[in-house]
Structure 1
Amino acid sequence: MDYSFNATGGYRVPTGIAGLDVQLGGGVPPGATILILAEPGANSDIFAQQFVYGGLLNDEDVFYFTSEHPAQDIVHEMENMKWDVEKYLEDGNLQFVDAYGPRFYNVLPKEFTTNLSAKDFLKKGTDSMNLLKATVTQKRDTKYRGVVDSISYFLRGYSLNTIVDSIELISSIGRATGAIHLILMTSGMHDPITENTLRHICDGVIEFRIKERGSEIERTIMIRKMRGMLVPNRTISYMVTQKGIELETTTRVL
């Protein structure tokens, strides 16, 4: 597994988003739990997929816990971006944990559920929070990273204290193993106390924002904090291309 070394004496794990790694001096601290707080339409899903692929290219195993989208849809989206993940799925380096499908097993027409595997059938009665905890506490013998997409789903059905406990569990495992975890959250969907609480307990916070500027839409990120690091004191513009999220490398006055 590759680490970068910056002049401050800290090792960094590359995220897979080149422009972001440049801004962070090579990547993020090992073991960091990072909150991605994004407005709808800000393409945080592409960021998460790029983060996944970056981990695979960095010889890490990756798990992707999805409660918002079918796992196969995410695979198709990644393939459309030319991120070939099928071989990693076949080799077991990439694991999708589908908490989306079990939510609808009891309401879908029978023809949609007759082809369930035995494993999926057993999962249909599983509590999503228990499934998340089982995923993050699973013993792994190799370096890895994980994505939770998204914590907003859990906030609709569980108390804030329960969510805080689960993120603290993820953080403790990250610190023990060196694994980095990405937690996605939808900005504006929850009250300010909830958003600030999650900002506080996560090691890093990256916010995705959209602003109308005349007839154009401007997309920017703000690295609010990153454990043990001085973060850029400005917002950074980014574009979404066929290569994924690309950050501007020149300073702009916004």
Structure 2
Amino acid sequence: MYGKRISTGIPGLDVMLRGGLIPGRTYLVKGAPGTGKTTLAMHFAMAGIANGENVLYVTLEEPAENLRADMAKMGFRINDSRFTLIDATPTSERYVLVEDFFESFAGSLEKMTNAIKEQIRERHYTRVVLDPVTMLKLTTPDEMEYRKAFLGFIKSMMRMRATVLMTSELQKTDIEEYLVSGVMELRMFDIQGTLYRGLKILKFRGSSFDCSMRPYEITDRGIVVYHDRVISLP
């Protein structure tokens, strides 16, 4: 009914998206620290691996060594040959890797875009993760320059037919939300002393979607979304 879809790797979220994400577009996952944004991004990456795709994952905040250790505990296939993890954190010993393409923490989103395009040309990555894009925004002081670079990034990825998922810890993500094709928000609530987690789709161009707040859990095997339940706030 809605055309070809690709899985997020989380069955309950795929149901909320009416079958999954529309390929070749850019999506944003936002939420406070500890809500599971990186875990959701890894589900998306591993769904690509399971589908025989090449996946490029750029970590901009969590060192790759820590990310590998945490994700391996959940059973993710992080050592698969089709999965490329790039450590672009400012604490990386090589400061940012992959030969000469990722230089000086990709000091701008434009440099990062060119580096990713080069990688896609070399290996035809169909899924790309930027986790979190917040770091690139904070290193670009000029707002107009950032907006132009962000739009350029989205257009470049669309031309290369890559499906992109980026995360953000900023609650206010005006330009990102406006330009991307979809926005998912992860939230935490304290209801009468009990912590609840809720996932809400705020935007999904080109399709209808479930706009209810659905509960989710972070388990030892990753995220589970309960698409048939609703969080009722007092």
Residue of structure 1 in register with 2:17 after alignment: 24
Residue of structure 1 in register with 2:74 after alignment: 81
Aligned with residue 61 of structure 1, among 27, 44, 54: 54
Contact in 2 for aligned 1:30/1:175 (Cα 8 Å): no
Matched, 1:231 2:213: no
Tell me how far apart the structure 2 counterparts of residues 31 and 120 of structure 1 sit (CA, whole Å). Answer: 24
Aligned with residue 149 of structure 2, among 166, 173, 187: 166
Tell me how far apart the structure 1 counterparts of residues 105 and 182 of structure 2 sit (CA, whole Å). Answer: 30
Matched, 1:211 2:211: no
Matched, 1:181 2:164: yes
Residue of structure 1 in register with 2:138 after alignment: 156
Residue of structure 2 in register with 1:50 after alignment: 43
Deviation track 1:76-97 (CA, whole Å, cap 9, x = no partner) reads 11211111221x2xx3x22122
Could you tell me which amino acid in structure 1 is paired with residue 107 of structure 2?
S
Matched, 1:95 2:84: yes
RMSD of aligned alpha carbons: 2.3
Deviation at 1:65, TM superposition (A): 1.1
Deviation at 1:135, TM superposition (A): 2.9
Deviation at 1:162, TM superposition (A): 2.9
Deviation track 1:141-160 (CA, whole Å, cap 9, x = no partner) reads 54510111111112222133
Q: Which runs of 5+ in 1 are unaligned?
A: 1-6, 106-112
TM-aligned CA distance change 1:183 to 1:161, over 3 Å = farther
Deviation at 1:211, TM superposition (A): 0.8
Q: Under a length normalisation based on structure 1, what TM-score does the superposition of the two structures give?
A: 0.80
TM-aligned CA distance change 1:14 to 1:244, over 3 Å = same
Alignment size in residue pairs: 226
Tell me how far apart the structure 2 counterparts of residues 142 and 13 of structure 1 sit (CA, whole Å). Answer: 17
TM-aligned CA distance change 1:84 to 1:127, over 3 Å = closer
Structure 2 residue matching 1:84: 3-state secondary structure = coil
Residue of structure 1 in register with 2:5 after alignment: 12
Structure 2 residue matching 1:169: 3-state secondary structure = helix
Residue of structure 1 in register with 2:115 after alignment: 135
Q: Which runs of 5+ in 2 are unaligned?
A: none
Deviation at 1:177, TM superposition (A): 3.1
Contact in 2 for aligned 1:32/1:179 (Cα 8 Å): yes
Contact in 1 for aligned 2:28/2:176 (Cα 8 Å): yes
TM-aligned CA distance change 1:218 to 1:161, over 3 Å = same
TM-aligned CA distance change 1:12 to 1:65, over 3 Å = same
Q: Under a length normalisation based on structure 2, what TM-score does the superposition of the two structures give?
A: 0.86
Deviation track 1:142-201 (CA, whole Å, cap 9, x = no partner) reads 45101111111122221333332333223213322332101111133xxx4xx2221111
